[in-house]
Amino acid sequence: MSVVRSFHGYTAPGLAAGGFMVDLALSRMPDGVLFEAVCETRNCLPDAVQLLTPCTVGNGRLKIINLGRFALSLYDKHSGEGVRVYVDAQKVRAWPEVEAWLFKLKPKREQDCQLLLEQIRQAGPELYGIETVLVQPQLLGKRRRGAIGCCNLCGEPYPIDDGAICRACAGKTPYLVPGAEHFERPFDGPALDAAPLRDTVGKTALHDMTMIVPGKSKGAAFVNRVMKKGSLLEETPENC
């Protein structure tokens, strides 16, 4: 338990349940097979996989696909054949504290944590269902990052397959721009996304074109022509 606490931060019921689930999945995998894992939730279960198998987020052998289901799969990394273990909604009804935890029938502060962990331990593998699965081909094998270049805006290295600028500069960053914490502007227009200029040929400009290099400059994006709202975007040396 000390290892669990040091890795996960505390002895979570989801991690305790995950231990049984990983054990069940491992018992159904053929000996000697090189396997990878999928977790269908971000909560607790990925840490059970990382503690009890060689599959981790860092080495790319654990994939987290957040479907909101407390389930995991181990599968042959080459063929995609594997087993999926999930919490069986019918079986947990025999264990009231586990049922209340799984279905959030009472607030966390009202849960009896010791009783919950004890019921998970007593139930053992009885709480779970298991089925054979075949993983989709696109999840097999390790995805290559491709060529690396420097972003035209921030200057940091990034996979150039992401586009003309890195995903952070394209608006995917999880960080607030300094000074923007208190700035909110309602927007009721269409959903917007960044795209390389070469992919915009033939589209209509939604607004005037401005080039902004954070902390350095702000001015016209196209120095040899005026690009106004409503203009048809054409192929030019600037966007080839």
Residue 227, pLDDT > 80, answer no
Name the percent of the chain lying above pLDDT 70: 72
Most confident by average pLDDT, 121-125, 154-158, 225-229:
121-125
Residue 231, pLDDT > 80, answer no
Structural contact between residues 166 and 58, judged by C-beta atoms closer than 8 angstroms: no
pLDDT of amino acid 164: 87
pLDDT of amino acid 99: 96
- Choice among 20-34, 91-105, 133-147 with the minimum mean pLDDT: 133-147
Residue 180, pLDDT > 70, answer no
pLDDT of amino acid 217: 66
> How many other C-beta atoms are found inside a 10 Å radius of the C-beta of residue 74?
26
For the chain, the maximum distance between any two Cα atoms, rounded to a whole number of angstroms, is 75
User: Which domains does the chain possess?
Assistant: 2-139 (3.30.1330.130), 145-182 (3.30.60.80), 195-240 (no CATH)
Distance from C-alpha of 125 to C-alpha of 121, rounded to nearest angstrom: 9
End-to-end CA distance of the chain: 59
Structural contact between residues 35 and 55, judged by C-beta atoms closer than 8 angstroms: yes
The closest of 70, 100, 75, 106 to 88, measured between CA atoms, is: 70
Q: What is the mean pLDDT of the chain?
A: 84
Q: What is the DSSP letter of 125?
A: G
pLDDT of amino acid 240: 47
Report pLDDT digits (tens) over 1-56. 566 667 776 789 999 999 999 999 999 999 999 999 999 999 999 999 999 999 99
The closest of 18, 75, 78, 62 to 43, measured between CA atoms, is: 18
Q: Which residue has the higher pLDDT, 194 or 15?
A: 15
Q: Which residue has the higher pLDDT, 188 or 120?
A: 120
pLDDT of amino acid 212: 66
Q: Which residue has the higher pLDDT, 195 or 166?
A: 166
Report pLDDT digits (tens) over 208-224. 666 666 556 666 665 55
List b or e across 95-133, with b for residues whose CB sees 16 or more CB atoms inside 10 angstroms. Answer: bebbbbbbeeeeeeeebeeeebbebbeebeeebbebeee
Q: Which residue has the higher pLDDT, 198 or 85?
A: 85
The closest of 206, 205, 239 to 222, measured between CA atoms, is: 239
Distance of CA 100 to the CA centre of its chain: 27
Bridging pattern class, strands 35-39 and 62-64: parallel
pLDDT of amino acid 76: 97
